[in-house]
A and B are shown apart, each in its own frame.
Chain A
């Protein structure tokens, strides 16, 4: 690996692309006819697609350069930035899968927007590409300040995506999303400053070795958790998520569920466990209680939803409960399961939101009651929906099963009660997902508007089929991911043990 800064290239490629698209548009704007505008938008979307695919290729290249057999950070780039803060990038087995998830989902998001976004398309593409840079930056940065900058900056494009291209209550949802998450992350900022002053550096590797006093750890842990708990989201600070999901455009929901939520789990694994081990042990029962409460409570809430997107949003909260459970089991299998669950949920939840988007684009409603009998008109759709319903329930053979079972095994080793409660959640997830599926897909067509609904078109298939294949692939061959994450999981646990 010569001196080429592949991670910088990976991180900033989408942003550079966004700037180019913006510059080209302002240079060619002036033609104001409607046809031209639509054409401009399509060109911008295609350009965005090319850039995001290129980013994906770069991330695959980074993956190929990465050596999973050596633990620790690789492909590191470091430059001093300001005082002891440095511009430091690197990846390990924890961040690399999440980066690949991000770069994989972004082109899908853009493609899925081709038929659903009709106004201000250029800005939409720019917002998405800028968001991609910030998301990748969160996972590649190895400096706490840099991490924080990317972490918080990502709010801005997401705010615009929900606020401009969202549904009826988009303003409310975007403000709630922004202020809720910001409150959490600003408390983290205070902790970041404290750590920087105390340890004299914001470098991950320095902080991981630095032993904070147990008293300080408690407060730092709480401040970090204020941010990650909102982001993940954990019960009871999840209430922004259903609003944001329901109002966001389909692609916004995909990226929100697919990537942004994972930042919470990533943060817990990256900071809470290795840097504040005493506090993590102290709060383990608390986190288990919240995780089980999230799994059971939000599953029940999901069951009673009448809005398809809201149902999936609550199901996301429940599935993130497994992530918390796995992480705070402090066992290798649990942590591995949590990482796996994050990746797997990234595919499944994204696909489910795309599936809702398919019928929403045709019917412009997300009410479950407005559907029924879709199988008679949309057989392919019904089959794909079935696959992801099963994956979300955690059926063996799909990646959802592996994530849940590993998390639960880990949880079981730490607390039988917590694992038992989580297992109850698996049953509930079957209840609400199968209910959803039955009410929308089976039965007779009661809504006459459904009589001439068309099955999925080619673009929709291109967006969903890769997700379906990966869900099945990782369901039967989980080692593809687990081998990659093993080193990182072991390293985190050894740092917790004081290594």
Chain B
């Protein structure tokens, strides 16, 4: 008995993505290479529409006999993930065209990865969660290796696949333990089950698996390699859309499934958060490749976000959304800036290539500096308030050591953020970059504007996320 109204209310965006993705496959089969150019606009449009659908059915609902259940908390994450996923697609086209890999599969894989994100966000059952994670992961592995003739890209895809499979295995094993000791795979059922050592074992293994997906230490080792090896637009996508979705899923599982045993996992999540912040901060100091640098920066930022998770549902849900929104928007802008680093047909990735950018492209440099300072968490940019709300959650929950680690690692990571600023503003100019795709420039400027505007109008963003958090706290 299929109840279409309930299904649409609960997972409208995912139904749309699945249908549109299949239409895309059909179009690809019919139009063949003629679809290549169009596919990027098609894909971006599909994702933006999906975000729109999620906004329309914002309150969410339950369907498939409780296999999926959505609320404002996850729907907010869906909207952000789809929008930044669409932005990543918009700015990919020029890059892939120049590498002669602008094939429609790319857009379709992005759509299917987004479908996976939607599924894990909507999941209310461990089975749905696992299926969604595999949909997302398998699409991601292929995307990472999309430049199949490039050894680096293939290596990135393979590394991601092998380690990702291991993590999936852990997640699955953890899930089976949880199932074994609670007798159900339903989120609410597990939450109501009697706590036992076996359940805790399962929980820890699930945390390991999820930590891999969000690239939190000590399951982070793949991140710099994959960020560096994967084609830059793919890195942009990984750093934004799945990051947002996985992080919210991590929180969702902790809050919803293991909400009653918070005293058990709070320490684990705190340790993971602390390690991520420190490794992300210290690891980035010696990097010379901008994509690896962004990889370490993302590890550190995941650590900050996990502070909000460790603070628990009531304190942490809203700040988590706020922080992640500001972070993924900045992240996509930073990757867009990497896409502008192109000369004589080839991409350059050394951070020293940015030398003296200010004298050649002032607006790009200013936008980029704003983004860097925002990610670093310095006022007067949005990232500061992201950090502020996370700190507020952490200190409110009494996690003082974590708060201290947060600020100390912020100072350390400033070491590499400042180095970027220094290279762009202080150093002597290097050779000028070739002309920039207008779509890429648009993404850089939009995200820079976003972190400035939402600094001034922070109450708007804070209002949205606060409302979204009510979906699980109320």
Binding site for B on A (CB under 8 A): 26, 80-83, 120, 123, 134, 145, 148-150, 152-153, 155-156, 159-160, 163-164, 170-171, 174-175, 178-179, 182-183, 186-187, 189-190, 193-194, 196-197
Contacts and interface: CB of A to CB of B under 8 A. Distances in A.
Nearest to B410: A186
Interface of B: 358-359, 362-363, 373, 378-380, 384-385, 388, 391-392, 395-396, 400, 403-404, 407-408, 410-411, 414-415, 418, 421-422, 425-426, 458-459, 462
Given A26-B363, A190-B404, A149 B380 contact: yes
Given A26-B362, A190-B404, 18 more contacts: A26-B363, A80-B459, A81-B459, A82-B462, A149-B379, A150-B380, A153-B380, A159-B421, A163-B425, A174-B422, A182-B411, A183-B411, A186-B407, A187-B404, A189-B388, A193-B391, A193-B392, A197-B395
Nearest to A83: B462
B426 A170 contact: yes
Nearest to B369: A156
A123 B365 CA distance: 13
A187 B408 CA distance: 8
Contacts of B388: 145, 189, 193
A269 B128 CA distance: 59
Contacts, number: 82
B3 to A, nearest CB: 40
A190 B426 contact: no
A81 B363 CA distance: 29
Contacts of A156: 373, 378
Nearest to A197: B396
A153 B378 contact: yes
Contacts of A123: 358
Contact of B378 (A120, A152, A164, A194): A152
A123 B410 CA distance: 27
A83 B400 CA distance: 23
Most buried by B among A26, A120, A164, A178: A178
Given A152-B379, A156-B378, A175-B418, A193 B462 contact: no
Nearest to B358: A123
A227 to B, nearest CB: 11
A196 B392 CA distance: 8
B254 to A, nearest CB: 22
6 contacts: A82-B458, A152-B379, A163-B425, A175-B422, A179-B415, A189-B388
A179 B363 contact: no
Contacts of A150: 379-380
A189 B380 CA distance: 14
A103 B403 CA distance: 37
A186 B358 contact: no
Nearest to B381: A153
Contacts of A160: 425
Contacts of B400: 190
A193 B403 contact: yes
B425 A189 contact: no
Contacts of B378: 152-153, 155-156
B426 to A, nearest CB: 5
Contacts of A149: 379-380, 384
Nearest to A148: B379
A212 to B, nearest CB: 14
A80 B414 CA distance: 31
Contacts of B358: 123
7 smallest CB-CB distances across A and B, nearest first, come from A186-B407, A149-B379, A82-B459, A153-B380, A153-B379, A193-B391, A163-B426
Contacts of B363: 26
A189 B391 contact: yes
A186 B462 contact: no
A193 B395 contact: yes
Most buried by B among A80, A175, A189: A189
A194 B403 CA distance: 10
Contacts of B359: 120
B430 to A, nearest CB: 17
A375 B132 CA distance: 82
A339 B295 CA distance: 48
B88 to A, nearest CB: 28
A125 to B, nearest CB: 14
B391 to A, nearest CB: 5
B458 A194 contact: no
Contacts of B422: 163, 171, 174-175
A179 B392 contact: no
Contacts of A178: 414, 418
Contacts of A81: 458-459
Contact of A190 (B379, B396, B407, B459): B407
